[in-house]
Each structure stands twice: as C-alpha cells, then as structure tokens.
Amino acid sequence: MTQNAREPSFRESVDQMFNRAVGLMDLSPGLEEKIRVCNATYTVRFGVRLRGEIKTFTGYRSVHSEHMEPVKGGIRYATGVNQDEVEALAALMTYKCALVEAPFGGSKGGLCIDPREYETHELELITRRFAYELIKRDLINPSQNVPAPDMGTGEREMAWMADQYKRMNTTDINGNACVTGKPPNAGGIAGRVEATGRGVQYALHAFFRDEKGMQKAGMTGDLSGKRVIVQGLGNVGYHAAKFLSEEDGCIITGIIERDGALYNPDGLDVESIRAWIAKHGGVSGFSDMHHVGDGASVLEEPCDILIPAALEGVINLSNAADIQAPLIIEAANGPVTAGADQILREKGTVIIPDMYANAGGVTVSYFEWVKNLSHIRFGRMQRRQEESRHQLIINELERLSKDAGVGWELSPDFKQKYLRGAGELELVRSGLDDTMRIAYQSMADVWHAREDVDDLRTAAYLVAIGKVAASYQAKGL
Ligand code: NAD
C-alpha cells in the first residue's frame, strides 16, 4: 500500500472516476455539477412487531438523476447498507441506463438487514412495511420509480412489493410495472433471473470480438479454456459462471464466498457447489482439499478472467498490485476502488467496468417494464405467423428439390430449429445481446480512438455522461 494513501469511500470512488472523465469533456461547470450530485435521498425508520417485540429497521431510497423518468435501480438487503452506498449505486444506475440506452434516471434503495436472520414470513412483513413507506412517497411507482432486485433480494421480495403496491393502488391498471424482477407467474419476464449473469457472458463475447481490446489485455484466442475466478456465487456470479463454463468452455478455477474459497486449477463444478451453498450456507465442508480459509486471497491467484460478483471495494489499495488476472470484469457494482483502478491501469490490466458489465439486469428489467405496460407477452402476436412463413419456404424448397429430381432433404434438426418462431425467452436474449454489443462498441470506439482515454471505464463514463448531458441540454437546463 502507498504510504499515507487513504482508501476513498464507494461514493468518493464513483465521484473520482466521474471527475476523471468530465476532465476530458467540454461541459459547463454548472452542468457538470448537476449531473454529478444526487438529487435526493430518503431515509426511513420503521417498526415491525416480530417475535413479541417491536424491531426498528432503517431503509433508504436515493434518486440520483431525473433527467428521464421513471428512475430505476435495485433494492439491496445487507447489513452494510448506508446513505453513502445507496447514493454511489444510484449514480452508477444513471450512467448505466444512459450507456445501454434504457430510458430511465438512476435510483437505488437499501435496507440494513441480514435477511438470513429472519424466517420467510418475517421477511414478508418487513418487506411489505418497507414497500408501504416507499409507495406512500411515490418511491415505488410505475411512472416514477421502479425498483428491482439486488444483493439479498430476488423474485420473492419483488412479488411482495408489487402486491403491496397493488393493494394500495387498486385502480392502477399498470400496477405490475411498479417493480421488475418479479417471478414469471406474477408479471415477470422470461430470462430476468439470469439476465445479469447472461449480460456478463455477452459482455465477454463482445470483448473477445474486439481484437484491439484483446491486444491491450495481452490475450489471444477465444473464451474456450480460459481460467476464471468468481467472487460471490449468488445470482449474478452463479449465472455468469454457469454460462461461461457450460456454453463457452471456460474453466472455473476459483469460487470465493463469505466463508472462504474453493480453488482448483483443474476446474470446479459450479452446479454442485451452488447446491452445496444452498444447503449449507457457504463453501466450507465442500472439499477440504480445495478449501482456502482466507477467501479473498484467491483474488490474487493466476487466472485469465477475474469476476468479482459479490460486493464493492474488494479490490483495493491493499491487494491491487497483487492481482494477476489480465482481465477483470466487474459483475458487482464498484468492486474496484478508485485507488486500485489506478494501480491496475498502470499495470496494464484491462477492466470491463460495472456500468457496462452488469447492465444486463436493468436491460431485461426494461423489457419487463415495457411488457407490463403493454399487457402482452413478447412474441405472442408474431410467433405462429413467423412459423407459418418458415413452413412455406421449407415446403417450397422440398417441392423444388422433388421436381428437379435431386433428392435433397433438409435435416429434421435444421427444420425443427428453423421452423420454431421466437418466444419470449429468445426475444429477451436477442434484445440483451444486441444491447450489450452496441454498448460495447460505443465504449470501444472511444477507447481505441482517443489517445487521452486509456481505459474502458473512462470511455464508458464519457459515453454515458455525454448522453445525460445531451438530455439535460435538450430540456433547456
Ligand atoms: P446475491 O445476494 O444473489 O449474491 C451475492 C453473493 O455474494 C452471495 O452468494 C454472497 O454469499 C456472496 N458474498 C457476500 N459477501 C461476500 C464476501 N465478503 N466475499 C465473498 N462472497 C460474498 O447478489 P447479486 O444479486 O448476485 O448481486 C451481486 C452484485 O451484483 C452486487 O454488487 C449487485 O449490486 C450487483 N448487481 C446485481 C444485479 C442483479 O440483477 N441481481 C444487477 C446488477 C448488479
């Protein structure tokens, strides 16, 4: 660690990264300040009667920018939640939505709670009460503020919140659009649970198509055989690890969790480790041979791709110099502090920044919100029509082949794949892939073209801030 160096807080880190980018832009100081600051943060303390006594909880909902409405961002359940953290996360949401062209301002919420300490029915009471407090102030509302899952929350909590909103707004026909990340049978969309991990996979596909980017990281080839270390086998980390190993041939050599890590240079089985964690609450006991007590030390093991997918600040001044991966993809929000970012940049490590890397969640949330407002499942109108047009072509090809006497036959496998019209899941994946490709290209164009931009994060900030600034300027601010 540099002598006297102080680790900035998460919000300071985001501000420092923002300042680095605006230093390269030509914005008026007033507009710069307007974009940087967080518009409002609401703190609520509420009581819930649990186990015979009243317990008080503290929650937050922060709105960073309303240049577009509704504003959007997850709700986190964790003991470390605080105002500084939700404000940093809300700011990141503004830039993330701008980068992937999801038409939202940035917001974020959190509740100081360890969800593992409560029974399901207790969590429901707490969640409904928290939602009630936010709904009363339009901080959950289909046209103003639309939360989603984040660390410690998932489909279940989103279903409770949506139901709470609908109980309090019985005539709102768009009630389902008040939160995203709901279960499919409660207004959700196919592919939302996996979306952030899927987006990490698509982001890596985009990077591996970028020859100049690969050169900068000193990497060659494709994803097959690349050694990957993942921190946090929760929603995002699990899906990313699963898709990369099952579909792209990556070898998952390290999995870091709260209670230690598993490390095996020959590869780990993601599914059985996920099942073990679900049953035992951690990785301990899974395999004594591969268990590492000091989990965080595995971040420093050699690998090709490092995926921090748990929480912020894990790569910091104390370990940045020892990170060996040439490529880090920030599946979590803010896993690399501003100080560590500088050390890694100087070493030549390429970082695919959080703002882009984990934008798959908000992208598919956007699709879910549109689905809820249009009250129809994607693909419902076109699917069969698409299939019958494909059938026409197949029939014609087969007729031509027969008439010409050449005896060509389309294989049943081809016919089956070609004939099938796109359902909701296929359309969601296609929309997500398209979004991740276009957003990557917009960052990479800046990264490769400008000599004063030597990293993807600054490029991402430049693109995102440029879009937010254009939106404020168009409004006449
Ligand atoms: P999650 O709660 O499903 O998973 C988090 C995982 O990290 C858990 O397995 C937990 O045990 C582990 N973990 C917690 N503390 C740890 C520590 N100190 N060391 C190692 N592992 C630890 O959460 P998630 O939804 O997967 O979110 C993870 C990150 O991704 C967060 O930064 C979140 O903001 C970000 N993110 C999530 C989404 C989403 O759609 N869920 C979208 C965008 C960004």
Q: What is the pLDDT of residue 477?
A: 67
The residue contributing the CA closest to ligand 1 atom 28 is 310
Q: Which amino acids are annotated catalytic?
A: 108
Residue of the nearest CA to atom 41 in ligand 1? Answer: 150
Residue nearest atom 18 in ligand 1 by C-alpha distance: 258
Helix (H, G, I), strand (E, B) or coil at 396: helix
Q: pLDDT tens digits for the chain (477 residues)?
A: 444 467 889 999 999 999 999 999 999 999 999 999 999 999 999 999 999 999 999 999 999 999 999 999 999 999 999 999 999 999 999 999 999 999 999 999 999 999 999 999 999 999 999 999 999 999 999 999 999 999 999 999 999 999 999 999 999 999 999 999 999 999 999 999 999 999 999 999 999 999 999 999 999 999 999 999 999 999 999 999 999 999 999 999 999 999 999 999 999 999 999 999 999 999 999 988 899 999 999 999 999 999 999 999 999 999 999 999 999 999 999 999 999 999 999 999 999 999 999 999 999 999 999 999 999 999 999 999 999 999 999 999 999 999 998 888 889 999 999 999 899 999 999 999 999 999 999 999 999 999 999 999 999 999 999 999 999 988 876
Identify the three-state secondary structure at position 200.
helix
Geometric angle at alpha carbon 233, from 124 and 285, rounded to 5°: 100
The pLDDT value given to residue 7: 87
Q: Which of 155, 196, 319, 329 to mutate to test the pocket of ligand 1 (most atoms within 8 A of CB)?
A: 196
Q: Are 106 and 14 in contact (CB under 8 A)?
A: no
Is 213 a pocket residue for ligand 1 (Cβ < 6 Å)? Answer: no
> What's the length of the chain?
477
**Nearest residue by C-alpha to atom 31 in ligand 1:** 332
Q: Whose CA is nearest to atom 29 of ligand 1?
A: 332
- Residue 147: CB within 6 Å of ligand 1? no
Please work out whether the CB of residue 435 comes within 6 Å of at least one atom of ligand 1. Answer: no
How much is the pLDDT for 476? Answer: 75
Which of 180, 283, 311 should be mutated for ligand 1, with most atoms under 8 A from CB? 311
Does the fold of domain 191-379+422-477 match that of domain 40-188? Answer: yes
Nearest ligand 1 atom to alpha carbon 277: 9
* Residue 231, ligand 1, Cβ within 6 A: yes
* Helix (H) / strand (E) containing 157: helix 155-168
Take atom 38 of ligand 1 and give the residue whose Cα is closest: 150
Tell me the whole-structure pTM to 2 decimals: 0.95
Cα(238) to centroid(ligand 1), Å: 10
> Cis bond leading into 70, ω under 30°?
yes
In whole angstroms, what is the distance from residue 193 CA to residue 182 CA? 9
Distances (CA, A) of 241 to 71, 209, 220, 452: 30, 20, 20, 34
Name 40's Cβ contacts closer than 8 Å, sequence gap at least 6: 62, 63
Q: Which ligand 1 atom is the nearest neighbour of the CA of 296?
A: 19
Q: What's the token pair of residue 318? A: 């104390």
- What is the Cα–Cα distance from 194 to 243, expressed in whole angstroms? 10
Cα 130 to middle of ligand 1, angstroms: 21
- Main-chain phi, psi angles of 307, to 5 degrees: -120, 90
Q: Which CATH number is 191-379+422-477's, of 3.40.50.720, 3.40.47.10, 3.40.190.10, 3.30.70.3000?
A: 3.40.50.720
* Residue 114 and residue 79 in contact, taking contact as beta carbons nearer than 8 Å: yes
Structure tokens at 413: 């496998």
Instruction: List 57's β-bridge partners, or say none.
Output: 46
Q: What pLDDT is recorded for position 3?
A: 40
pLDDT of residue 5: 66
Measure the CA–CA gap between 259 and 295, rounded to whole angstroms: 7
**CB distance 109 to ligand 1 below 6 Å:** no
Whether 23 contacts 32, CB under 8 Å? no
CA distances from 144 to 106, 173, 177, 265, 364 (A): 11, 15, 10, 48, 18
For a mutational test of ligand 1's pocket, the pick from 14, 95, 151, 356, i.e. the residue with the most ligand atoms closer than 8 A to its C-beta, is: 151
461 CA from centroid of ligand 1 (Å): 23
358 lines ligand 1 (CB under 6 A): yes
Pairs from 12-19 (Cβ < 8 Å, separation ≥ 24)? 12/338, 13/88, 13/313, 13/334, 13/337, 13/338, 13/341, 14/88, 14/91, 14/92, 14/334, 16/338, 17/338, 17/341, 17/457, 17/458, 17/461, 18/91, 18/461, 18/465
* Residue minimizing CA distance to atom 20 of ligand 1: 257
Cα-to-chain-centroid distance, residue 106: 14
Task: Report CA(76)–ligand 1 centroid distance (Å).
Answer: 9
Residue owning tokens 């041939």? 249
Q: Is 360 in the pocket of ligand 1 (CB under 6 A)?
A: no
Q: Which of 300, 296, 291 is nearest to 263 (CA)?
A: 291
Rounded to 10°, the helix 456-475/424-449 angle is 100
CATH for 40-188, options being 2.140.10.30, 3.40.50.300, 3.40.50.10860, 3.90.1300.10: 3.40.50.10860
**Domain ranges, ordered by start, for the chain:** 40-188, 191-379+422-477
How far is 325 from 333, CA to CA, in rounded Å? 19
